[in-house]
Amino acid sequence: MFRLREKSLYLEGPDLWVDSMRSRERCYVSHGHADHAREHRTVVTSPNTAAICRVRFPRRAKRPDRAPVVFEEHAFNEPWEEGRHRFTLFSAGHVLGSAQLLVEGEAGRFVYTGDFKLAPSLTTEAPEVKPCDVVLMECTFGRPQYVFPTREEIAGEMAAFARAALEAGTVPVFYAYSLGKAQEAMAILGQAGLELTVHHSIDAMSRVYRERGIGLPAYEAYDEATFAGDRVLVWPPSGKELPARIRKKPLRSAVLTGWALDRGAHYRYGVERAFALSDHADYPSLLRYIELAAPRKVLLNHGWRDFVHRLRRLGIDAEYLEDHAQLSLF
């Protein structure tokens, strides 16, 4: 039996939590973003996500009272058995290492997508869609107005923005999450021949990307002593408070987010421009996923509840997963 316990998916038979926000004995972690990855006694995940978590989790030295996290790593498409169930991780195309979870049992095939995207990426494993009976999918951009431009269009606009800023003697700053979005931005801007300086948290994640075989352009980690202001800055939104040395310079700032499609998004983020570079599936991609997976039931979380009604109008059996729901498939 699958159930939702304390807002997390819990698989009762194999005693496995899924992306739980509370520390558990054994938990599957779909990817390294902080809203999915917590330290558990045993973390079940892909090798690339394990590499990211080893860097991201707070240093053990600060918590000597707690036992170190044990990583149970499973490569994509290498299934393992537990009791009467077979488990397989496969790529979600969201950030490096991001996985979807397929659970097969007597009653059929269940897929938990976690965060995913179908659009091509320069820095993430290509996504996969597997046919299934029931899918539990995120629907962050589950409204029809969210149709992202092509990656080429976005890349062209980002590079033009950066070049114009540099030519005007200003510093272009791109705000991007340190895991995933920042590396994609670096790859795009690097391909355009722009020189990059990044925040140390982005440097830390980029080192993991390189160690795991993802090619990134040359860049410098920000150094107060040497930063001259003639390069493109990539900075995490959480570290938005820029160092005084940068703030003294004339800046042109932009944020990279799917919410860029909302009117006035740049005002909301306090920046000059917003570019719709997203790690999530846009509305057509959500529908495309359902078409390819062809499930008899779609369960939704992390997104717009009205996506349920849109799917039902298309003849798709869909339900938004409430906190106390039980999934009696298995």
What residue spans of 192-243 are helical by DSSP H? 200-211
> With respect to Zn ion, which residue has the nearer C-beta, 109 or 280?
280
C-alpha closest to that of 99 among 123, 80, 124, 82: 124
> With respect to Zn ion, which residue has the nearer C-beta, 232 or 256?
256
Contact track, Zn ion, 109-138, x by CB under 5 A: ------x-----------------------
Task: Render the burial of 60-72: b for 16+ CB within 10 Å, e for the rest.
Answer: eeeeeeeeebebe
Asked if residue 33 binds Zn ion (CB under 5 A), the reply is: yes
**Number of residues in contact with Zn ion, rule: CB under 5 A?**
2
> With respect to Zn ion, which residue has the nearer C-beta, 94 or 109?
94
> With respect to Zn ion, which residue has the nearer C-beta, 51 or 232?
51
Question: Hey, which bits of 165-310 come out as E strands?
Answer: 171-175, 196-198, 220-221, 232-235, 251-256, 273-275, 297-303
Strand 220-221 relative to strand 134-139: parallel, antiparallel, unpaired? unpaired
Q: How far is the CB of 27 from Zn ion (least distance, A)?
A: 16
Region from 26-34, 208-216, 235-243, 288-296 binding Zn ion, contact rule CB under 5 A: 26-34
The residues in 157-216 that bind Zn ion, with binding defined as CB under 5 A, are none
C-beta atoms surrounding 310 within 10 Å: 18
Q: How far is the CB of 51 from Zn ion (least distance, A)?
A: 16
Query: In terms of C-beta density within 10 A (0-12 exposed, 13-18 middle, 19 or more buried), how is residue 329 classed?
Result: middle
3-state secondary structure of 42: strand
If phi > 0 it is left, if psi is from -120 to 50 it is alpha, else beta; for residue 162 that is alpha
Q: How far is the CB of 33 from Zn ion (least distance, A)?
A: 4
Q: How far is the CB of 76 from Zn ion (least distance, A)?
A: 17
Q: How far is the CB of 258 from Zn ion (least distance, A)?
A: 12
> With respect to Zn ion, which residue has the nearer C-beta, 177 or 330?
177
Region from 33-41, 66-74, 213-221, 313-321 binding Zn ion, contact rule CB under 5 A: 33-41
